Every structure is written in structure tokens, then in C-alpha cells.
A = this chain, B = another copy of it.
Amino acid sequence: MNQDALLSLLQQVQSGALTPQRAVAQLKLQPFEDLGYANVDHHRALRQGMPEVIYGSGKTTEQIAGILQSMADAGSKDIIVSRLAPEAAEVLGRSFVMEYHAIPKMAIVNHDTAKPQTGAIVLASGGTSDMPVCEEAALTAEVLGSKVIRLYDVGVAGLHRLLSRMDVLSKARVVIAVAGMEGALASVVGGLVSCPVIAVPTSVGYGANFRGLSSLLAMLNSCASGVAVMNIDNGFGAGLLAHRINQMEGIG
């Protein structure tokens, strides 16, 4: 509730249109719906420019269906369900207008495919095995309205593959660099471009990779300036943040 809304409410109290008691009640009235197991936030689209995203892992299919129904009833579009098991997707697909992407295990409900995709997010990935995280990032940004150019399998062990795409990289407004193992891609990309770089470590690797720790630490310690890091395998977060940066308006 912002200052204007508060002022308006208080003016209603002053004018007698609202009793103090009801005003208190209204101040408490929250822009979310309590399902018991979840508080669905219908105003997030206003507050943060996007509908609530449902993190599918650890929720029952029934809980997800309940949240989706609540959001659909409120007219939400482009609802993302991340980390959704194929079995749950199949069940939910019967009740909702939903497209399911198997590689990133991600569903989009009530997808507004007419929304234009603008700007330029370049997604560079270390290897084929990083695809699930990459696609989670790319689809998220695309659903939100950003244009995404994918550069797959341009890891640093074969540097010419990345350098040959400098033309694409140099036109990016934001770069998402996704890599497992030693995570060096973020530093190399960070040294080649002047736009913001979002680094996403993946859990791809084995042994002293320790489920993504090696690439996470490497990316946090990047000697290239201007690189910020997401949680291991957090493609969704990277896609969302890249979209926000991509869609920034000019200062004035």
C-alpha cells in the first residue's frame, strides 16, 4: 500500500465515508488470497511487474493446482511453474491451458504468446549438459517479454567457439553466462563485454565439483568486473533479472 493509497484512505475517514474501524480492517486487507497452505499474491504483477512464480519442488500436485486455480481465477497470464515433475505436469495439463518444457521441467500456464519480445539478452553456455538450466533462464525471459539469443556449447576449453560469436555478444544488453565444472565462462565473457553479466553456476560435473560448488566459487571470484552470480542451477532467477535489466528505461 503506497502513500497515495494511504492518503486517499485517510481522506475517506476524514470525510466520514469510512469509519476508523473499517479503515483499520482495510489497512489489513492484503492483496493475497489465503489457501491455508499458501498465500497467493495477486498484486505481485503490479508490485514487481510479473505474476507470482510457483516453485514446484516440494509441493503436492493438489497444492500446485490450487494455487494455479486461484491465480487463473484472478485473471493471471504467463504463470510459470518451475521444477515441475513430468508426472505432475501431465495431471495439471488436463485442467489448465499449459505448455510444458521437458528439458527445464518448466510449465507456462495461460501463455500470452502475442506478447512481443524486445531487447537483447545473450545466453552463453559452457556445454550441452547445462541445457536444463539454460532453457529455464531463456524461457523465463522470453515469457516476460525479452528477446533471447542462445549460444550453446561455447565453453572456454575451445575458446574459438566463443570468440567467433563476438558479433552477437557485442550487441547484447545483458549476458547470462551458464557453466558448470570450473565456471570459467563467466570471467571470459565478463572480460569481453561491457554490459552487465549474470553468471549461473550449474551442478554439472563430478568429484571436486561438489554439486556446483566449484563453479559457484569461481564465478563469485571472477576477476572480470561487473559479474553477479545466481544460486547454483537457478536459471529462473537469471532469466528474471536479465529481463529486468534488459527492459530498463533510459535515465531521462
Contacts and interface: CB of A to CB of B under 8 A. Distances in A.
A86 interface: no
A68 interface: no
Interface string A192-223: 11111010010111111111111111111111
Q: How many copies does the complex hold?
A: 8
Contact of A39 (B50, B161, B233): B161
A48 interface: yes
B196 A207 contact: no
A167 interface: yes
A97 interface: no
B251 A156 contact: no
A69 interface: no
B204 A208 contact: no
B232 A153 contact: no
Given A188-B184, A191-B158, A219-B182, A118 B252 contact: yes
A200 to B, nearest CB: 10
Interface in A81-128: 83, 118-119, 126-128
A242 to B, nearest CB: 9
Nearest to A67: B128
Given A128-B38, A152-B36, A207-B203, A218 B13 contact: no
A244 B195 CA distance: 7
Contacts of A245: 196, 245, 248
A70 B59 CA distance: 37
B228 A157 contact: no
A23 interface: yes
A164 B223 CA distance: 19
The 3 A-B residue pairs with the shortest CB-CB distance, nearest first, are: A207-B232, A58-B129, A184-B184
19 contacts: A13-B20, A32-B161, A36-B152, A44-B158, A49-B194, A57-B129, A127-B223, A156-B188, A157-B222, A157-B225, A159-B159, A182-B187, A182-B222, A184-B184, A206-B233, A215-B221, A217-B218, A220-B229, A225-B237
Given A206-B234, A208-B220, 20 more contacts: A11-B20, A14-B14, A14-B19, A28-B167, A32-B161, A37-B128, A38-B152, A41-B161, A59-B129, A63-B128, A127-B223, A156-B156, A156-B184, A182-B183, A182-B221, A198-B228, A208-B221, A216-B220, A217-B218, A220-B232
